[in-house]
């Protein structure tokens, strides 16, 4: 397993993040990352709670009545023994999902781009399909989802690696210099 990981400034990175190709194909997956079957949505960082609360009044205009009611009555996240998770509606869609036609998208991200807020979306969503695991420090792994099989197919056409696809989230978390070291690493 260790030979499948590279060390960039004490962050272990699965080699597949540099090697595997990945480009979302929303016309095929319909925004599956926002609607995967689960009682819980994406992991949250503690500092993201306040940032979401700040943009929430603007985000609500893209949500349906059921989502707004849940947020107002019970909040938008769970705290399970210190692990923070976005809520899911009907054990399926993220509480912040909205639909553009038949494609699920993030209302937080929509507000970010349309109204120039300072919070794009939870880091775990920004890094998807990369997940950060803790094992004496950050370990980045590509998490395989059947719903994303079309992203692999399209990625092989576009030749965009997972690292390049997730460059915004990786730079947000680790910085531009770290990302450049990752990209310049010979696999």
Check: pTM over 0.85? Answer yes or no: yes
Higher pLDDT pick, 110 / 92: 110
Quick one: which of 155, 145, 158 has its CA closest to 34?
145
For residue 98, being part of any structural domain is answered with yes
For residue 3, being part of any structural domain is answered with no
For residue 2, being part of any structural domain is answered with no
Q: Tell whether the model's pLDDT for residue 1 goes beyond 60.
A: no
pLDDT tens-digit readout, 157-180: 999 999 999 999 999 999 999 999
For residue 47, being part of any structural domain is answered with yes
Q: Structure tokens of 154?
A: 């399209």
pLDDT tens-digit readout, 17-30: 999 999 999 999 99
Q: Which residues form the domain of 127?
A: 8-184
**Residues whose CB is less than 8 angstroms from the CB of residue 137 and which lie 6 or more positions away in sequence, other chains included:** 10, 11, 12
pLDDT tens-digit readout, 123-163: 999 999 999 988 888 999 999 988 899 999 999 999 999 99
Q: What value does the mean pLDDT take over residues 31-54?
A: 91
For position 137, what pLDDT does the model report? 87
For residue 82, being part of any structural domain is answered with yes
Q: How many CA atoms lie within 13 A of 101 on its CB side?
A: 6
For position 2, what pLDDT does the model report? 60
Q: What is the number of domains present in the chain?
A: 1
- What average pLDDT is seen over the chain? 93
């Amino acid at each position: 397993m260790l030979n499948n990981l590279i060390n960039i400034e004490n962050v272990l990175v699965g080699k597949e993040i540099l090697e595997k190709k990945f480009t979302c194909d929303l016309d095929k997956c319909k925004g599956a990352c926002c609607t995967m079957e689960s009682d819980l949505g994406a992991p949250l960082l503690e500092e993201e709670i306040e940032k979401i609360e700040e943009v929430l009044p603007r985000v609500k205009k893209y949500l349906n009545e059921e989502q707004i009611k849940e947020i107002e009555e019970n909040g938008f996240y769970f705290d399970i023994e210190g692990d923070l998770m976005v809520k899911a509606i009907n054990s399926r869609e993220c509480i912040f999902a909205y639909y553009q036609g038949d494609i699920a998208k993030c209302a937080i991200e929509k507000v970010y781009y349309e109204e120039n807020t300072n919070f794009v979306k939870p880091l775990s969503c920004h890094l998807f399909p990369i997940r950060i695991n803790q094992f004496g420090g950050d370990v980045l792994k590509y998490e395989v989802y059947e719903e994303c099989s079309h992203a692999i197919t399209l990625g092989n056409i576009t030749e965009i690696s997972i690292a390049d696809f997730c460059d915004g989230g990786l730079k947000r978390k680790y910085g531009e210099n770290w990302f450049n070291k990752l990209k310049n690493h010979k696999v």
